[in-house]
């Protein structure tokens, strides 16, 4: 035994023994020496060991600390990061969906695009339609066109202006019916009314719906085709509300295709919907993806990976260190020499490896207990109760 141990032993002999306790069960105490229920010698607790100057720090014999398996972790200061994996589905880009319909009645006489799934190019003929209304409007336009040509050399400005206004009105009527400029130019150059007119594709894409049939009568506003440009698609991912801090508009995400192992596609978060889905209680996130090779097909499922790192480094602790009481969050900070301080903390978001951001209550480099906290919590409450009991006894004396 060295001099330090002799002095420590001497100091303890000079102190008053308050009570005796079991080394493996902090709830078992006695006012005299003896054996614990487990057959172990009771340990004396001397005056001054049951409390510290702070009034909240607990002191436990190092041997007991070892026996109950107290483990420590250092508070790190770092930028918390998180990876979120979820399943998503591919859908059409709503901005490239186009409905092909007409604004006049008539009959489809010839169909050039006759299959769903057929690829079309902008300006490609889709069908020829016969419409008595359209024939009459062409005749009106030709009369106005010939009249304007005839009066173009008139010396009367009012007459010339009136003829041009009539021509412009007839031309505008054709345009309002979505008649292609090529049809109008051909009408002027040939000077003949066409029995049928051709409807052209308004954009590049794939025909995803076809209702048009040869010989079918069509009415104004009736949808004949739906075209979607699949060179760009939307991917809808669903995340839980507690993951919202980790997903921002503009973030780049990775997508894995189940049917092509190892293939990774990049996309960008374009919109986070401002409401939760009623049934699933999650938030829908829209991701925009370039799809030049048409690998992604609507209604296909993909695996989406969101990755993000917090911009500011903060103290971080393992989730195992936190005791949740329902009203507050506590951790036990090791002060060394078997002394522990219960401390209230304010937690932020949860990152990878079950680590929590600490907004208030801890500093980097401090050590917190990550196992046996509940035993320490029990010990803290026990020592507080015993201290109150002893104070009551002393007052009675």
Where along the chain do its domains lie?
Answer: 15-49, 51-79+310-397, 83-93+230-309, 103-221
| Residue 327 φ then ψ, to 5° | -105, -25
Contact 323, 317 (CB under 8 A): no
Note the pLDDT of residue 52: 42
DSSP 8-state code for residue 294: -
- Can you point out the beta strands (E) in 140-262? 196-200, 205-210, 217-218, 223-228, 232-240, 252-256
Task: Write out residues in the chain with pLDDT < 70, as ranges.
Answer: 1-14, 23-27, 47-56, 64, 372-397
For residue 69, the tally of other CB atoms under 10 A from its CB is 9
- What are the structure tokens assigned to 155, written together? 């010396």
Note the pLDDT of residue 48: 61
Note the pLDDT of residue 70: 80
Q: What is the rounded CA–CA span in Å between residue 232 and residue 326?
A: 48
- CA-CA-CA-CA torsion sign (315, 318, 323, 325): positive
Note the pLDDT of residue 337: 80
Note the pLDDT of residue 191: 84
Closest of 241, 227, 243, 245 to residue 121, by C-alpha = 227
Beta carbons within 8 Å of 84's beta carbon, 6+ residues apart: 239, 243, 246, 247, 305, 306, 307
* Domain 51-79+310-397: assigned CATH number: 2.40.420.20
Per CATH, is 83-93+230-309 categorized as 2.40.30.170?
yes
- Rounded to 10 deg, the angle between the 181-190 and 132-150 helix axes is 60
Which letter, b or e, does each residue of 267-303 get, where b requires 16 or more Cβ atoms within 10 Å of its Cβ?
Answer: bebeebeeeeeeeeeebbbbbbbebeeebbeeebebe
């Amino acid at each position: 035994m060295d001099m330090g141990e002799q002095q420590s032993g001497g100091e303890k002999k000079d102190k008053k023994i308050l009570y005796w306790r079991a080394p493996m069960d902090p709830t078992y105490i006695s006012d005299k020496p003896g054996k614990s229920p487990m057959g172990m010698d009771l340990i004396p607790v001397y005056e001054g060991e049951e409390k510290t100057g702070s009034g909240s720090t607990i002191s436990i014999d190092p041997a007991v600390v070892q026996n109950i398996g107290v483990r420590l972790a250092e508070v790190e200061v770092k930028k918390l990061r998180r990876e979120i994996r979820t399943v998503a589905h591919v859908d059409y880009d709503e901005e490239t969906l186009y409905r092909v319909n007409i604004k006049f009645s008539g009959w489809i006489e010839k169909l050039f695009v006759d299959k769903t799934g057929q690829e079309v190019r902008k300006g490609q003929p889709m069908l020829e339609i016969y419409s008595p209304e359209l024939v009459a409007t062409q005749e009106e336009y030709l009369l106005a066109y010939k009249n304007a040509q005839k009066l173009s050399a008139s010396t009367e400005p009012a007459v010339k202006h009136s003829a041009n206004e009539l021509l412009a009105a007839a031309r505008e009527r054709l345009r309002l019916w979505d008649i292609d400029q090529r049809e109008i130019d051909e009408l002027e150059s040939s000077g003949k009314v066409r029995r049928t007119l051709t409807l052209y594709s308004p954009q590049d894409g794939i025909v995803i719906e076809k209702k048009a049939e040869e010989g079918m009568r069509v009415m104004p506003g009736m949808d004949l085709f739906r075209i979607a440009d699949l060179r760009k698609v939307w991917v809808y991912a669903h995340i839980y509300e507690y993951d919202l801090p980790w997903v921002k508009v503009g973030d780049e995400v990775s997508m894995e295709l189940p049917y092509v192992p190892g293939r990774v596609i990049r996309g960008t978060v374009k919109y986070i919907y401002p409401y939760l889905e009623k049934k699933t209680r999650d938030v829908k996130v829209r991701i925009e993806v370039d799809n030049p090779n048409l690998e992604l097909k609507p209604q296909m499922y993909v695996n989406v990976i969101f990755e993000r790192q917090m911009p500011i480094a903060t103290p971080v602790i393992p989730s195992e260190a936190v005791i949740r009481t329902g009203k507050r969050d506590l951790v036990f900070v090791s002060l060394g020499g078997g002394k522990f301080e219960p401390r209230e903390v304010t937690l932020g978001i949860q990152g990878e490896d079950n680590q929590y951001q600490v907004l208030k209550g801890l500093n980097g480099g401090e050590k917190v207990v990550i196992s046996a906290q509940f035993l320490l919590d029990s010990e803290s409450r026990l020592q507080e109760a015993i201290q109150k009991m002893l104070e009551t006894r002393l007052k009675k004396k």
